[in-house]
Structure 1
């Protein structure tokens, strides 16, 4: 797709040929791809002191989970391109003086776990590598409403161009991280997993946010784990037949992949254990699906889940799935299950409210000094 090729500076955001750009245009250094997606760019202390003290924090970058075909730079480019369209930011071209420099502050508008700082760095780099960014917190830290936790300094036009894309990613990731943190804390000692129920084209970003929040990643896609679910079992003619087919396939292809099988009843758990006791198998995990039974009073009955965990007796990893919420996850975790998976971590995310506000006083002072305000 042409919109993903960023070899030419300004390719995504070039104004139309008939636009008057003699006064209003993006900074000349705009929109270059950074040499490294995790390159740290922070203000020098002298520059910080000149614009008001802020305790800088060296970022600890929790890298995103790996994926063989996912191109995070291309996803960022697409997000920027859908905003810019074929004309660029016409409002900024009309109102923001050429080459005017400003400082903008990230402000938390509610309490939560911050996530997306490393990704924000990548976006600012992709829009304009000369932008200088500084943070007073790290991905995974808890912040409170009203906290100024970061700032960006440089070309006003390019900060405004990057603003919404940065905030869209950061707010979504922070919402996921906040909920993941709450679930992970409540589920301990069990580990909380997300699922493949992620926003299209944002799977790696969503799963990255879960990691930042303290959860763990389930399979990335259809390629990195064999997961035998109800439809596979129905087509194969039963749990044992499905496992037999998987074992034969992996041996034939000389593949070593984790294998999980879904069970819905104690009888199916017994069938899996019987098969595994009589055959050489690649089975690594047993999913215990919908064995958490909702009760009329809002509580849950975990009797069947606990019995299944005891039947398996640590011979295989176990994963509870279904009827898991922040209210029920503690009780589920106390059954001794290894993992608890919840699609709600990513499919029902509530974004954390974050804003990016330009320091108007500084902008006006700079503008007066340079006759640009």
Structure 2
């Protein structure tokens, strides 16, 4: 079978037209050099993008521009394939030792098109084994980057922009309204207008979006993230291609309005809760975890754990499965010691008895506990007020041995009374799961927009 395959390869090489690339294969038998087969596009491993033979097919430094060498078959009696006595012996191929490999299909350059499909037909076993490139100690430039907040946010913005534009290849080609009404060479200037009082957030994020849609857009801001603006205030401008501005408009406003709403509420609760610090929770909008937590920082709050990986938080379900607070805390301490991890540890308590159990365990054992959550110890009253006596008793019982965090029934109306109990932190899920967006607009005709805003009491 192998001999028949070699014979067919030799016959194909002899019946093929001459290669346009100068080669020494014409002076040697085809079965000793195999360069005749390498010069045929349909026999090489990869055909060139322009359906032409690979320009480096005859290069000895290119390890994948031709099929691998095989032992030479017995000399044929045919005069077409008989080897001359002066023919040099076949040379062994060696990998290139130069720093820049030849520009060919096997080594595409930075500007080369995508790799061509493989040759037709079923390759031999030896050929399939050679398809995997040899591993080297040199790091690959295509290796994935580590997941950092910046990379995660940029990936989210890219998906959001493409989601608005639909299944089109170019960023600006999906807005059919712009394509129908606005010429591509028209420029415009749009102004950001606040339609309510609040804290501006998302300016840095807006810069990322504008740069992603059209890097030529020029954005000018009159305020910074965290600044307070009043209704009707113009706090920024963007100038450039009118199509690009309108494409980016809704994406920018969606993020800025939500982030500004979170920052505004966080600012109000932080001022009322002093000296306690305001924290958000993991009750964020799906896909917007980092953006929501960023807005809390802009508003003057602090971040709770980013996810399940950066803090041990022993919640009620963990305690129920472990068989009690002491068992859960003991398991956590053993795990951290075994894995040699230094992570903050927080345990949730719901009653005064559970607080006593935590303090008893900490007094008798070496523990990594850093914070005690006092959950739902703020009791709402029928008249709309809250009773914080249980929370105050728990704080006095802990007496500064650990940080304390109040959670449950935290609103803008109750946060002041909760902060007066002496807790270290106050966490509120309402900061991110029930936030009211701040009304912001981006208008090209600013005067008309202000007239309409005054008429509707929004400017």
- The TM-score normalised by the length of structure 2 is 0.63
Paired residues for 1:217-236 under 5 Å: 217-236=303-322
SS of residue matched to 1:152: strand
CA distance in 2, matches of 1:183, 1:69: 28
Query: What stretches of structure 2 of length at least 5 have no aligned partner?
Result: 1-110, 112-146, 169-173, 448-459
Matches within 5 A, 1:71-110: 71-87=152-168, 88-110=174-196
Aligned residue in 1 for 2:344: 258
Alignment of 1:57-206 (within 5 A): 71-87=152-168, 88-206=174-292
2:326 touches 2:361 (CA, 8 Å); kept in 1?
yes
Q: Show the 5 A alignment for 1:12-51.
A: none
Q: Distance in 1 between matches of 2:341 and 2:409?
A: 33
Post-superposition shift, 1:98?
A: 1.3
Q: Name the SS for the 2:237 alignment partner.
A: strand
Give the secondary-structure state (helix, strand or coil) at the position aligned to 1:286.
strand
Contact 1:67 1:220 in 2 (8 A): no
Quote how far apart the aligned CAs of 1:360 are.
Answer: 7.5
Match of 1:335 among 415, 421, 433: 421
Instruction: Report how far residue 129 of structure 1 moved.
Output: 0.9
Residue 322, structure 1, aligned to residue 403, structure 2: no
Q: 1:68 to 1:182 in 2, by over 3 A?
A: closer
Does the 8 A contact of 2:210 with 2:217 survive in 1?
A: yes
Q: Structure 1 CA distance, aligned partners of 2:281 and 2:391?
A: 20
Report if the CA contact (8 A) 1:102-1:359 is conserved: no
1:136 and 1:105 mapped to 2: Cα distance? 11
The count of residues paired between Structure 1 and Structure 2 equals 297
Deviation at 1:359, TM superposition (A): 3.9
1:244 counterpart residue number: 330
Please give the alpha-carbon distance, in whole angstroms, between the structure 2 residues aligned to 1:70 and 1:298. Answer: 45
Stretches of structure 1 lacking an aligned partner (at least 5 in a row) = 1-7, 9-65, 362-373
Q: RCO (CA 8 Å, sep 6+): is it higher in 1 or 2?
A: 1
Residue deviations 1:60-113 (CA, integer Å, cap 9, x gap): xxxxxx956961111001110110002400000111111211100000011110
How far apart, in 1, do the equivalents of 2:188 and 2:409 lie? Answer: 49
Distance 1:280 1:163, change over 3 A: same
> Could you list the per-position Cα deviations for residues 148-197 of structure 1 after superposition, in whole angstroms to 9, with x for gaps in the alignment?
00000001100000000000000000000000011111101000000000
Distance (Å, rounded) in 1 between the aligned partners of 2:196 and 2:351: 43
TM-score using structure 1 length: 0.78
Distance 1:183 1:358 in 2: 35
Equivalent pair of 2:200/2:226 in contact (CA under 8 Å): yes
Q: Secondary structure at the match of 2:438?
A: coil
Q: Return the index of the structure with the highest Cα Rg.
A: 2
Q: 2:38 corresponds to which residue? A: none
Q: 1:95-148: per-residue Cα shift (whole Å, max 9, x none)?
A: 111121110000001111000000000000111111100111110011000000
Residue 283 of structure 1 deviates from its aligned partner by: 0.2
Aligned alpha-carbon RMSD (Å): 1.5
